[in-house]
Structure 1
């Protein structure tokens, strides 16, 4: 193992939903508008050095709020960075090199087409990585470094992987671009069934057009889906045949009642506030459930020419202190926005 790689057991990791619950305490917060680059370099240049990223899609935190992990898509790796960084240490360490294929990293075959599209960490410290393009699979690594291909297209109904969520019971929810659906699997990656959509693409209440980020409300089982090409957030109740539009749905645009290719969604514990990574509007917005429009939290399309502005938003997360982390896919950076109350 080199000094740029780390043993997975060096850092215990936790369920993302535990961190999401902390959004409840910051749901009425404001954030400073100058984001701090905490992963990637200040120039935003793509590369595979430890202070660089190349098209990062998603991130997740460890249980002690010490490190966050980034799905570094084009580099085919998962990078780890310190949470207590305020721009003074942007050098990451390779937690998992997806195309390595060596004895120390036997999880993935030596196939440079394998690129992580999203990352999720469950309540039992397992890490899940989904690959949206080739070969359309979900891989699981346990804290003791035993690994498995949990779901793949050869032995399941899954066709592609754009988003993933694992609930407290270990059920795995996957947004499937090619089936325009959300699928649910048991903890072993078996018995996959469509629980939302699956009625070809469209903008009807029972349809999606490329579902992406997903979030499951643990109390109610409601599923929130970023409906990427319909520019809306849909909520599906357990057992329902149709979803309800809770944000957007007014065409692509930057007005307060519109979204533009939303790709990530977080909901507070009481399902009162919805945070959205509004990708092509280069912003994070917050909607109150039942409202006709949202409010900008950080970013905005009018600011994209500024050197410190967001360009294309990917994943969004909160740390334990309520600071907001945003993945900028085009600028190859993770930005941290401090709470400003």
Structure 2
């Protein structure tokens, strides 16, 4: 009889695992780790000039196979470091001194790379963009370089660039001139947005970042830095529309920004905004009136969950976002834990949650009695109270990863909120409710398992 009891208990545990593991492949929103992995530089913020350290990283871009290109600098030099996935050993591919020659740079603020591996360096100090072929010891001039000023064919303190993948046209946040310009070649320039300082719909105030949605007729998104807003400019429009932040108002509320530096966009047209003044990365979903903090605590620091003067953000092929954590002298990667197209995995941060099975769904990998069972990475169950089919109860405790979801990140480290694509489900915190999925089919499976147990015993 004892053997039958333990067999029944095993079946219940298996059913519980089936429920949780089936939910793993069906998470409705992307979930990122709240703690980053340092992929370049020192995890604790130590500056240096060797192959494993960075000094004041000022520009990053993602290349083929998720390789990372980082520009950092010292007193009289600039170097481009290449980091391959899984390696924190940087390879120097550009080593330039401070100056005006085409083999030199001054105050680099932006980088881009094309499909052929050509690197575009936005040289703020020289008010120009140079293009460096793979292995080249010098660049060629592709924009600016005519001194500085307000004429259309010159730049003044340019801060960010976007290179169109099909045409190689270069879009530049010409911050000193409060405008966005597009360079078709070294002599043909188009004014796209702004041109005067102010907070009106047709004006910009020192724009530091831009992104061009080439899948939507080259719709332009501008980090209008000192207006504390993100402006959307349709192709050919003379006015922009505020899509994130509040014009002229800085703050740390979720509907506010404080000196947004740069931004990027994913295939769902969600914006990833470097909220520089708040030391955080904010995700702004399409059509939303407020953002979601997906990285940073709002307080400058060097912990894995913190940022210190972040400058730029990029996405890799897995959906992870990469942050140039400038004052910490490191590049941080926040991996995807769960997305609608993949199973969840755990992070190094965990929080214990007592759970009760009810009528919602949450994806959690589990371990039973020190026997590891998970979709990707294991999490150990020790004890909790979970009811199945309103008739059989087992004791377990669930330890889940600390997650950041595309709903919101609460200031408490023990609170997680899950957002459904069509409705918000109940929040997950201490004494949170889990969900039962496909109850009828589970009961049939459970009945079959019981039948097999009694036949075999």
Q: 1:160 to 1:318 in 2, by over 3 A?
A: same
Look up the match of 2:81. 79
1:62-84 C-alpha deviation (Å, 9 max, x unpaired): 2223x210121445111111222
Contact 1:77 1:116 in 2 (8 A): no
Asked if 1:119 corresponds to 2:111, the answer is yes
SS across alignment from 1:162:
strand
Look up the match of 2:237. 240
Asked if 1:208 corresponds to 2:204, the answer is yes
* Distance of 1:322 and 1:108 partners within structure 2: 35
Look up the match of 2:16. none
The CA RMSD measured in Å over matched residues stands at 2.2
Superposed displacement of residue 35, structure 1: 0.8
Alignment TM-score, normalising by the size of structure 1: 0.82
Contact 1:227 1:262 in 2 (8 A): yes
Superposed displacement of residue 191, structure 1: 0.7
Look up the match of 2:89. 91
Look up the match of 1:108. 103
Superposed displacement of residue 240, structure 1: 0.9
Q: 1:288 to 1:100 in 2, by over 3 A?
A: closer
Look up the match of 2:317. 320
1:25-78 C-alpha deviation (Å, 9 max, x unpaired): x9941111111111111231223222222221221122223x210121445111
* Distance of 2:308 and 2:55 partners within structure 1: 14
Look up the match of 2:30. 29
SS across alignment from 1:307:
coil
SS across alignment from 1:129:
strand
Alignment TM-score, normalising by the size of structure 2: 0.62
Which of 169, 172, 194 is residue 171 of structure 1 equivalent to? 169
Superposed displacement of residue 157, structure 1: 2.3
* Distance of 1:78 and 1:248 partners within structure 2: 33
Q: 1:172 to 1:50 in 2, by over 3 A?
A: same
Look up the match of 1:299. 296
Gaps of 5+ in 2: 1-26, 148-152, 339-457
SS across alignment from 1:276:
strand
Contact 1:157 1:192 in 2 (8 A): no
SS across alignment from 1:178:
helix
Contact 1:78 1:96 in 2 (8 A): yes
Look up the match of 2:223. 226
Gaps of 5+ in 1: 1-25
Whichever of the two has the greater Rg, that structure is: 2
Contact 1:153 1:159 in 2 (8 A): no
Q: 1:166 to 1:195 in 2, by over 3 A?
A: same
1:118-155 C-alpha deviation (Å, 9 max, x unpaired): 110123332100022x2111100123637312223417
Which of 213, 234, 251 is residue 217 of structure 1 equivalent to? 213
SS across alignment from 1:64:
helix
* Distance of 1:189 and 1:148 partners within structure 2: 11
* Distance of 1:234 and 1:264 partners within structure 2: 12
1:153-188 C-alpha deviation (Å, 9 max, x unpaired): 4173222220000112111100011100001111x3
* Distance of 1:242 and 1:286 partners within structure 2: 24
* Distance of 1:153 and 1:179 partners within structure 2: 15
Look up the match of 1:46. 47
Superposed displacement of residue 269, structure 1: 3.2
Look up the match of 1:330. 327
Q: 1:94 to 1:81 in 2, by over 3 A?
A: same
